[in-house]
């Protein structure tokens, strides 16, 4: 990445040598930062913040002013695609995302459009352009989307769910209908990620937040198959540079071997998967990203440092590790504890790369 002042993150994703293990954090632009809460209040609502490219750019860059992160991630939401499909996304206090028009019938699935990112999702693509411009090559910018299966869970359930009974019911009862929906979503996700890449995203990540709710056969057929379809449709070269890809299935540690065959450069790990065993299982096929338990950040800086040391040691020598949490940071974490984590990764990882 010739135009990057710090390309450690990109190199690690591609398993190329680095001087230190790179680190970034899921939800690094978020409510744990007082400066984020200020902009969020100014925006009036979460969706107003997401749909305003200038404000989305501002909150994307905020964490980089405070911490020595090796990447920025676009500030957006995984549910932008279903919203652009006309499902009427809204957020309720304490309940999370909801849809006015959930997808329940064959007719609902039939009429789902494939959104044009330069029209219905232009605010996201504009934010990518603006962030990339304002980063001025400091660190790479990560674009992202929810996975087809994860988007489908929200679309069919009408929001968050503990049991996934509606979406799994549809999957078991009418698998052909489910496949039709997921195929449409895979195409939409690929078009959306390709638009982010064209606008300046230097790596892209697929968040399969709810893949882990499935049994093995169903995961392979209804989640991983469509993640692989998305990957096969991505334009992973831009201006002569390779655009690395990351696949993260929360609760998916038991399927790493299958995930490593999908063509993604890197697999995200949650905290329930042992880093040492994960590396032994995937070998040199992919890089690994993760995987500190987000709750660790409630502990004091010395504990955080020792946990960082353990994860680095478990990955061991050589490139191909991006340090991250095993899921997003929680809103009431002390920012000083984030600094302790980031600094520990950089301070302790050098010997693993010498």
Q: Which residue spans within the chain are E strands per DSSP?
A: 72-73, 89-92, 96-99, 141-146, 203-208, 237-238, 241-242, 245-249, 266-268, 287-292, 321-325
Distances (CA, A) of 176 to 85, 170, 179, 193: 20, 9, 5, 26
Q: In this structure, are residues 78 and 206 in contact, taking their beta carbons and an 8 Å threshold? A: no
Hey, what are 23's tokens? 């680190």
In total, the chain counts a number of residues equal to 354
Cβ contacts of residue 324 below 8 Å, gap of 6+? Answer: 23, 24, 25, 26, 268, 289, 290, 291, 292
* Residues that are catalytic: 27, 31, 40, 77, 154
C-alpha–C-alpha distance, residues 317 and 312, integer Å: 9
Q: Which helix (H) or strand (E) holds 348?
A: helix 335-349
Distances (CA, A) of 150 to 90, 239, 282, 308, 320: 17, 31, 24, 29, 26
Query: Which residues participate in the annotated binding site?
Result: 27-31, 77, 154, 209, 327
What is the separation of C-alpha 235 from the centre of its chain, rounded to a whole number of angstroms? 18
Query: Which residues participate in the annotated binding site for substrate?
Result: 27-31, 77, 154, 209, 327
C-alpha–C-alpha distance, residues 301 and 288, integer Å: 24
Count how many Cα atoms sit within 13 Å of the Cα of residue 108 in the half-sphere of its side chain.
17
């Amino acid at each position: 990445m010739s135009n990057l002042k710090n390309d450690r993150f990109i190199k690690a994703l591609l398993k190329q040598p680095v001087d230190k293990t790179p680190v970034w954090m899921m939800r690094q632009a978020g409510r744990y930062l007082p400066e984020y809460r200020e902009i969020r209040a100014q925006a009036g609502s979460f969706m107003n913040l997401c749909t305003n490219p200038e404000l989305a750019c501002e909150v994307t860059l905020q964490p980089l002013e405070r911490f020595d992160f090796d990447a920025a991630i676009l500030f957006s939401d995984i549910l932008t695609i279903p919203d652009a499909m006309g499902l009427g996304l809204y957020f309720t206090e304490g309940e999370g995302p909801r849809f006015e028009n959930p997808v329940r019938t064959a007719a609902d699935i039939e009429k789902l459009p494939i959104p044009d990112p330069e029209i219905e999702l232009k605010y996201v693509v504009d934010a990518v352009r603006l962030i990339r411009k304002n980063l001025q090559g400091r660190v790479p910018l990560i674009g992202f989307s929810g996975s087809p299966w994860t988007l489908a869970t929200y679309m069919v359930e009408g929001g968050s769910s503990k049991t996934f009974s509606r979406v799994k019911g549809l999957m078991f009862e009418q698998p052909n209908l489910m496949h039709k929906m997921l195929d449409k979503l895979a195409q939409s996700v690929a078009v959306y990620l390709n638009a982010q890449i064209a606008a300046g995203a230097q790596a892209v990540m697929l968040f399969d937040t709810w893949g882990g709710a499935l049994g093995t056969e169903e995961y392979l057929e209804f989640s991983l198959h469509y993640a692989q379809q998305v990957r096969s449709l991505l334009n992973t070269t831009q201006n002569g540079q390779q655009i690395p890809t990351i696949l993260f299935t929360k609760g998916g540690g038991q399927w790493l071997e299958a995930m490593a065959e999908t063509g993604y450069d890197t697999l995200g790990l949650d905290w329930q998967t042992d880093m040492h065993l994960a590396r032994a299982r995937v070998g040199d096929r992919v890089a690994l990203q993760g995987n500190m338990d987000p709750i660790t950040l409630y502990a004091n800086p010395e504990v955080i440092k020792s946990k960082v040391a353990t994860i680095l040691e478990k990955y061991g020598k050589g490139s191909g590790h991006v340090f991250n949490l095993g899921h997003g940071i929680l809103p009431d974490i002390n920012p000083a504890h984030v600094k302790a984590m980031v600094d520990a990764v950089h301070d302790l990882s050098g010997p693993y790369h010498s």
